A and B are shown apart, each in its own frame.
Chain A
Amino acid sequence: MKVTDILHRCFRCGYCKFPSNYEDFNCPSYVTYRFETFSPGGRMWVIREWLDGRLETSNRFKEILYSCATCSNCVNHCAFPDFRDMLLDVFRYAKEKLIDEGDVPPPVRDYLTNLYKFKNGFGIPQKKRFEWAEEVEDYDSKKHNYLLYVGDEACFDPVANNMARSTVELFKKINVPFGILTTREISDGLEAYNLGETELFKEIAKRLLEIFKEVEAKKIVTISPHSLYVFKKIYPAFFDMDFEFYHYTHVIRENLSRLTNSKIFKKISYHDPCYLGRYLKDYTTVRDILSFFCKDFLELSRNKKNSLCCGGGGGNFYTALTQKNLENSAKKRIVEALELGVDCLIVSCPICLVMLNDAKKTLGLDDKIEVMDVSEFILKYV
């Protein structure tokens, strides 16, 4: 089935913008903009008009396309199983066309330029990537079980970087032999792919794979679920490869017995990141870890495949299109966690960590709730 074969099949029924129990809107870009055009069905209809030449490229159109956080809630909840798996392919197809036209919103353009020039989306010289990690060894396949791929966000964003530091510290504490690509790590390219810049994505992916091969990596652990996803599911569609990929939480769970099982008396909850959850269907690893330490684990009512995306996927972490208006999904998430009555909202993705921390600050709730990732949490409380 071609993407253009399904465009006209959307019935604009709107199942796609809800979680399974319909409790509230679950499409982060719709939550921000509230115009139907920013819902998955709206995108389908508008893209069709545009492809058929009845709508011209406009700033609004570009905003509609690029504010999709690729959270895949729609893919999971569209009422039509025959074509719902292709919704994001449709959106990407349109973005690819925009890229071909050379007409994308300024923040998207800036991101891609950075990525092209600096091999990371932050536009920071690569040599600064691991300034924080001077103590960490360079990966040596003879010595290390794992190659830790840290990724752009956890290297360059100060908040997300805490997550990388904690993971490194925790890995050391539980004696996981690992190394990093101290001088060679580059972006994983996923956001280029999501933004429709497929050529740049391929170039980056090809280079990164070469590096993985050159250092004879076998088991690669990622901090970001986004990296894990792109390595496991997108790279193989373009390249032959033979590596094992893990998320850092997998390694923690493997080694739980090396941590003292001191019970933590905190009320906590967990925010499922889209790329580990809905995309890779891993809903258990983090829960296993947390329930190992905590008695009071509470579920947010939108959890697992119904999780409400933080709004940072699909490049929105960089372009901030989902953060344009006063309301946004990250703020809603913080309010939900507070209403649940937890002290701590745990995440397992650097993008979620930043987005939710930002939301908490903007809401002035800094002292009401902690947002931290699994490794930070363990280091702080175990």
Chain B
Amino acid sequence: MMQELIQGLKDIVGGEYVSTHLEDRFFYSRDGGTMESFEPDVVVLPQDSNQVSKILSLANKNKVPVYCMGAGLTLSGLHRAISGGILIDMKRMDKIIEVNERSRYVVVEAGISQGKLQAYLKKNYPHLKHSMPDAPPAATIGGNVAIHGSGHLSFLGGFHSDMVTGLEVVLADGRIIRTGSCSVSNYWFAKAPLPDLSGLFLGWFATTGIITKVGLKLYPAHPLSDVRVLICEDPKIMEEIIFKVTDLNIAEDIITWMTPKPDWARGFLHCNVIYGAKTKDELIFKRDLLFEQVRDLIDKKVTGFLPLLPFMKKRFLDVPGKDLVRFADVRKGGGFEYVGAMIPTNLFSDAYKLGLDIAQKHKVAYSLGSRIIGNSHSMMFFYAYAFNRADLADVKNAQNALYETNKKVIDIGGIPWKAEIPAQKEILKKMDKNTKGLIFELKKLLDPNHIMSPGNLEE
């Protein structure tokens, strides 16, 4: 049967884009995080929605599991083929289909990299941009919205899934459907006013369908930008800073960072406020507004803006920023993984303390921080733990720290984001029963043969 299936796949996408080679199965079986390997039987690289549709029909007929990968950069191993079967690498589907300048949205194929879209807009629509995550630029738009990513415009626009204006999705049986305005009109401008079917595919770890096209909001790209970094020593004061800064609507992105390395940073809490402007005067005006917003704290000398020279600012203004990725080498060992926890902003101090406690308990190399989503409506608080991949005990230690962090996050009232399979189970354990029931029913409805990413969103 497998031979037939593979031939079927080759007929769909062409022989050179189907592989059962051990090398490929090995590489696609895991990611840069700590989760153990699960090999797919076959890796396939489709080029368009029709090919995806045919692949799913074929898999559905044969009841073979299908997993879906963008760049595989979640670090929580979400694309791993837990039950074997077919793994679809989406990255050949990387076309930019339409930019609607006036309505400020773009329609892309889901496998396009963040980097390619960024460069395309810079070159062709320099006054428009999309919200880039700080993931490496290979990360795909589809993979990122599918997991409720966030990024450089999340203070303005919320989660990246909130910026979705419509989707094209291939269902388990091969049907291609659309969500949002594009299901009625030629324009991909909004999810409203229709029943919001996008929600059936965002946050589901590819258990309900494979997203093949994404309509995404674009935002004004200002020619000038600046970053101001506030610093303090007390997480309670950081809470106040966040509240004050988010009360003022000038930022595009607000992130906090707390790291023990380099040594000078240990124990200090930093908050980067990034904003853009059309003119230098506007930039200064915004800076001064920001200053006024926290002036009382500055007068008390409990916070202040770091004096940054132009070359230092550049590092903070790079999109995507490379600092987090480089964290992978602090143990000289190519690995880190993070719990990204969605947490209400009022829990900042608790979230911070939790991270310090766990890092101390597990003696793990850590870096903490958060990105504010919306006007302080929530934040993605990250607990990144580095490990040396060549040292299995070190990997295990990081894994334990991550597991404990996930549990503690749920305890304080947050929810792990892009949760590893063990954390998915913890979330479901805590979830309202009826809600959970509905989720399982919907999964069953959309995927009666249980071929879509089995192992995910399961108790």
Task: Determine whether the beta carbon of A79 is less than 8 Å from that of B325.
Answer: yes
A291 within 8 A of B: no
B388 within 8 A of A: yes
A35 within 8 A of B: yes
Q: Which of A296-338 contact B (CB under 8 A)?
A: 301, 324-326
| Neighbour of B322 across the interface among A22, A42, A61, A79, CB < 8 A | A79
B138 within 8 A of A: yes
A239 within 8 A of B: no
- Contact code string A4-15 (vs B, CB < 8 Å = 1, else 0): 000011111111
Task: Determine whether the beta carbon of A80 is less than 8 Å from that of B326.
Answer: yes
A18 to B22, CA, bound (A): 26
Task: Determine whether the beta carbon of B328 is less than 8 Å from that of A13.
Answer: yes
A46 within 8 A of B: yes
B17 within 8 A of A: yes
Q: Which of A49-83 contact B (CB under 8 A)?
A: 49, 54-56, 58, 60-61, 64, 79-80, 82-83
Task: Determine whether the beta carbon of B24 is less than 8 Å from that of A37.
Answer: yes
| Neighbour of A46 across the interface among B27, B32, B43, B334, CB < 8 A | B27
Q: For A11, A17, A56, which residue has the most chain B Cβ atoms within 10 angstroms?
A: A11
B71 within 8 A of A: yes
- Contact code string B15-55 (vs A, CB < 8 Å = 1, else 0): 01101011110111001100000000001010000000000
Task: Determine whether the beta carbon of A12 is less than 8 Å from that of B24.
Answer: no
Could you count the A-B residue pairs with CB atoms below 8 Å apart for me: how many are there? Answer: 117
- Contact code string A79-91 (vs B, CB < 8 Å = 1, else 0): 1101100000000
Task: Determine whether the beta carbon of A8 is less than 8 Å from that of B137.
Answer: no
| Neighbour of A22 across the interface among B19, B27, B116, B390, CB < 8 A | B116
A199 within 8 A of B: no
Q: Residues of A contacting B322 with CB < 8 Å?
A: 15, 79
A203 within 8 A of B: no
Task: Determine whether the beta carbon of A42 is less than 8 Å from that of B27.
Answer: yes
B113 within 8 A of A: yes
Q: Residues of A contacting B162 with CB < 8 Å?
A: none
Q: Which of A1-44 contact B (CB under 8 A)?
A: 8-15, 17-18, 21-24, 33-37, 42
Q: Residues of B contacting A35 with CB < 8 Å?
A: 19, 24, 27, 43, 45, 89
B33, chain A: closest CB distance, angstroms: 10
| Neighbour of B22 across the interface among A9, A24, A58, A79, CB < 8 A | A58
Task: Determine whether the beta carbon of B325 is less than 8 Å from that of A301.
Answer: no
Task: Determine whether the beta carbon of B23 is less than 8 Å from that of A58.
Answer: yes
The closest CB in chain B to the CB of A81 belongs to B326
B160 within 8 A of A: no
Q: Residues of B contacting A36 with CB < 8 Å?
A: 24, 27-28, 72, 89
A283 within 8 A of B: no
A45 within 8 A of B: yes
A82 to B328, CA, bound (A): 12
The closest CB in chain A to the CB of B115 belongs to A22
On chain B, the number of residues with a Cβ less than 8 Å from chain A's Cβ atoms is 45
Q: Residues of A contacting B72 with CB < 8 Å?
A: 12, 36
Say yes or no: A15-B137 contact (C-beta < 8 A), given A8-B390, A34-B91. Answer: yes
Task: Determine whether the beta carbon of B31 is less than 8 Å from that of A12.
Answer: yes
| Neighbour of B115 across the interface among A18, A64, A324, CB < 8 A | A18
Task: Determine whether the beta carbon of A15 is less than 8 Å from that of B325.
Answer: yes
The closest CB in chain B to the CB of A35 belongs to B24
Task: Determine whether the beta carbon of A13 is less than 8 Å from that of B27.
Answer: no
A79 to B89, CA, bound (A): 23
Task: Determine whether the beta carbon of B26 is less than 8 Å from that of A21.
Answer: no
- Contact code string B49-73 (vs A, CB < 8 Å = 1, else 0): 0000000000000000000000111
Task: Determine whether the beta carbon of B24 is less than 8 Å from that of A14.
Answer: no
Task: Determine whether the beta carbon of A11 is less than 8 Å from that of B329.
Answer: yes
A42 to B297, CA, bound (A): 50
Say yes or no: A17-B27 contact (C-beta < 8 A), given A11-B32, A23-B120, A325-B16. Answer: no
A9 to B73, CA, bound (A): 16
A358, chain B: closest CB distance, angstroms: 19
B115, chain A: closest CB distance, angstroms: 3
Task: Determine whether the beta carbon of A14 is less than 8 Å from that of B71.
Answer: yes
A17 to B71, CA, bound (A): 12
Q: Residues of B contacting A11 with CB < 8 Å?
A: 32, 325, 328-329, 334-336
Task: Determine whether the beta carbon of B138 is less than 8 Å from that of A17.
Answer: yes
Task: Determine whether the beta carbon of B21 is less than 8 Å from that of A34.
Answer: no
Q: Residues of A contacting B136 with CB < 8 Å?
A: 13-15, 79
Q: Which of B91-139 contact A (CB under 8 A)?
A: 91-92, 113-116, 118-120, 122-123, 136-138
Q: Residues of B contacting A23 with CB < 8 Å?
A: 115-116, 119-120, 123
The closest CB in chain A to the CB of B322 belongs to A79
Task: Determine whether the beta carbon of A21 is less than 8 Å from that of B390.
Answer: no
Q: Residues of A contacting B32 with CB < 8 Å?
A: 11-13
B389 within 8 A of A: yes
Q: What are 15 A-B residue pairs whose CB atoms fall within 8 Å in the complex?
A: A8-B333, A9-B334, A13-B73, A13-B136, A14-B138, A15-B325, A21-B118, A21-B119, A22-B113, A22-B119, A22-B137, A33-B16, A79-B136, A79-B322, A80-B326
A residues with CB within 8 A of B = 8-15, 17-18, 21-24, 33-37, 42, 45-46, 49, 54-56, 58, 60-61, 64, 79-80, 82-83, 301, 324-326
**Further 13 A-B residue pairs, CB within 8 A, beyond A23-B119, A60-B24:** A8-B389, A8-B390, A9-B333, A11-B334, A18-B115, A34-B92, A35-B19, A58-B23, A60-B21, A61-B23, A79-B322, A79-B326, A80-B329
6 tightest A-B contacts by CB? Answer: A22-B115, A14-B138, A23-B119, A11-B328, A60-B21, A22-B137
